[in-house]
Structure 1
Amino acid sequence: MVMAFRTRHPAPPTFAVSDLCCEEERCALRTSDCAYQVAWTINPHMKMGAVNWHRARAQHRLLRRALRAAGAQLLELPFVHGAYDCVFAKDNAVLLEKEGQKRALLASPVFSERQQEQQARARVLDRLGFDIFSPPPAHFEGGDLVVLPGARGALLGHGQRSSRHAAVMLEIFLGAPVTPLELKDPHLYHLDTALHVLSDGTALVCPEAFTPAALRTLERTEGIHQILNVPREEALGFGLNLVEVGRTVFLGGRAPWVELLLHAQGRCPTVLPLDQFHLAGGSAACLVSQIHPARGTAREALRPASAPTRRERPGEPRGGAGYLQ
């Protein structure tokens, strides 16, 4: 008798993505503050006034279409009026789901330019059914967290935007160990610009971004099966700011060495032009926030907080967010 075995395939990922501008019905007064732009410099990549709005919108739409075509689901978040960097949805919160229960640990950004979007995003996530957890007392930004395959642990970048002390609350929230890694290059200021971990545990790493101690720690981290080095030049072009959907890996620009490594690992690298977001210091991974499957539940020491209920100002989101098919 021949027995048939079912192969379990991971569920398609769900990513939260932000709109690039205010919707007319949500904004009583349409102004230049209603759309993505670079209006300040809080990282070395930012070039004020350099964004071509029409190109940015076309590139963002292409990214969304490509993610859906690869099998991903998207969760829509409204643009936060005047908070232009809110388009980099990964930075706002860590998102988890287990058995239909969704929860969000809010970030605590360093710069006031990023802090201003947090209340609006918390209200939207609350309306979408997430349990909202208050941010760590130490600085933490979502771009500094890389969740390892199977959510069995995570890596925390610190030294530029986040504090290593945030690891304590992150471990409680994730129900899994968090390994701090010190970043030393201001141009690679978030962990997701300096490192990407594939679903098989292969880590693509720019060594120059880390202290020697951090590299030694990474080599010993459970869940990291091999480390492949990537030249700093490609990391500076956001070649490690990747999004993985099945065997497809999306890049926001050409990175020949990264593409070669991905092919060798059996992946299908797909390049999407995202140069209009490079002008603000982000790329593919920054623009989406994956809802990770949770292995455990937040321990008793960490309880959901009430979502902010401050009266909304004109142009702030008032609903309409949800799953897009």
Structure 2
Amino acid sequence: MTTQRERTYLMSPPEHFAVEYAINPWMDTTAPVDTELAVKQWEGLRETFVRLGHTVHVLAPEIGLPDMVYAANGAFSVDGVVYGARFKYPQRIPEAAAHRRFYVDHGGWRFVTPSETNEGEGDFAYLPSFLGGTVLAGHGFRTEIAAHAEAQEALGRPVISLRLVDPRFYHLDVALAPLDDANVVYYPGAFSEATRAVLRQLFPDAVLADEEDALAFGLNLVSDGRNVVLNSEATALAAKLRAAGYVPVPVELTELKKGGGSVKCCVAELRP
């Protein structure tokens, strides 16, 4: 029986969203973005979380930071400790300061400024009930593996490193997602052979996505332990999740996909 747990999220509206540069294989600077539609789809996503009983804080967007809508990348928090982001590409570096200000202004958080390159929840996922609280961490394209050790020291939680090998899945959160506090869904082809062996050993009951749904950003999802909010195009994955006892909640994010992200990219979970 799957169990919902109330969550608290941080999101940033796409008022300034545009594809002005290309830093992942999905970004095409010649493809126009309908900003009005992007805002409408984002608002629908926010309302979905509120309707499901969750709390959503909003981080004000800033002019000149078109990727700020991808709020997952700005930091990673566990039990009141925030491990800040240090972006790989210069275009996104100022976003880290905006996220830091949010945690400082809201109080109650211990913020750890990183020395190593990492992109927050883009490459970190937390399973509170797995081995007493475990972090899964991706590397290979954005986050440096040295950041995994730094995060472990900052958060006091064991970190398991997972190597990404397909540039289309440049962040962990487009290749793997927690479904509840101890289990995950992932696309095996995004990972190295050794990492796939580790994942099979750790999560024998994981839900496995096929390539088609992974390429539709189906794994870039947010689950509260029961309700799984995911891209509406990932229909086969939705069926697998339903068969596993979860409740798929499809949403359309066609405009935000143009920047290389979907549901999870737009959402940072706050864990006070």
Unaligned runs of at least 5 residues, structure 1 = 1-8, 22-34, 294-325
Q: Please name the residue that 2:119 is paired with.
A: 141
Per-residue CA deviation, residues 225-248 of structure 1 (Å, 9 max, x unaligned), is 523321112111101011112421
SS at structure 1 position matched to 2:56? strand
Listed as ranges, the matches of 1:229-308 within 5 Å are 229-292=208-271
Write the distance in 2 (CA, Å) between the matches of 1:118 and 1:170. 16
Report deviation, 1:103.
3.2
Is it true that 1:95 corresponds to 2:73 in the alignment?
A: no
Please list, as runs of the form range in 1=range in 2, the aligned pairs for 1:96-245 lying within 5 A after superposition: 96-97=78-79, 102-129=80-107, 130-135=109-114, 137-142=115-120, 143-150=122-129, 152-199=133-180, 201-221=182-202, 224-245=203-224
Q: What per-residue deviation string (whole Å, max 9, x for no partner) do you get for residues 69-127 of structure 1?
A: 00110111111221111111110101234xxxx33211111100111222232123211
| C-alpha distance 229-245 of structure 1, shift in aligned 2 (>3 A) | closer
User: Would you say 1:61 and 2:55 are equivalent positions?
Assistant: no
- The one-letter amino acid paired with 2:55 is Q
Amino acid at match of 1:148: L
After TM superposition, the score normalised by the length of structure 1 is 0.77
Following superposition, the deviation at residue 191 of structure 1 comes to: 0.5
Distance in structure 1 (CA, Å) of the matches to 2:224 and 2:180: 9
Task: Return the alpha-carbon distance in structure 2 between the equivalents of residues 11 and 239 of structure 1.
Answer: 21
Q: Is the 8 A contact 1:202 1:225 kept in 2?
A: no
Secondary structure of the corresponding residue to residue 259 of structure 2: coil
Once superposed, what is the RMSD of the aligned Cα atoms?
A: 1.7
TM-score normalised by the chain length of structure 2: 0.92
Q: Structure 1 CA distance, aligned partners of 2:232 and 2:4?
A: 27
Which is further off, 142-151 or 279-288?
142-151
Aligned length in residues: 265
Letter in 2 for 1:274: L
SS of equivalent residue, structure 1 residue 116: helix
> In structure 1, what is the equivalent of residue 9 of structure 2?
15
User: After TM superposition, where is structure 1 displaced by more than 3 Å over at least 4 residues in a row?
Assistant: none
**Distance in 1 between residues matched to 2:182 and 2:161, nearest whole Å:** 17
Is the CA contact 1:182–1:211 (under 8 Å) kept in the aligned structure 2?
yes
Aligned with 2:23 (options 38, 42, 51) = 42
**In 1, Cα distance between equivalents of 2:258 and 2:14:** 15
Farther-moved stretch of structure 1 (183-192 vs 77-86): 77-86
> Separation in 2 of the partners of 1:225 and 1:69?
32
Identity score, percent: 32
8 Å Cα contact 1:71/1:245 also seen in 2: no
CA distance in 2 between partners of 1:132 and 1:261 (Å) = 38
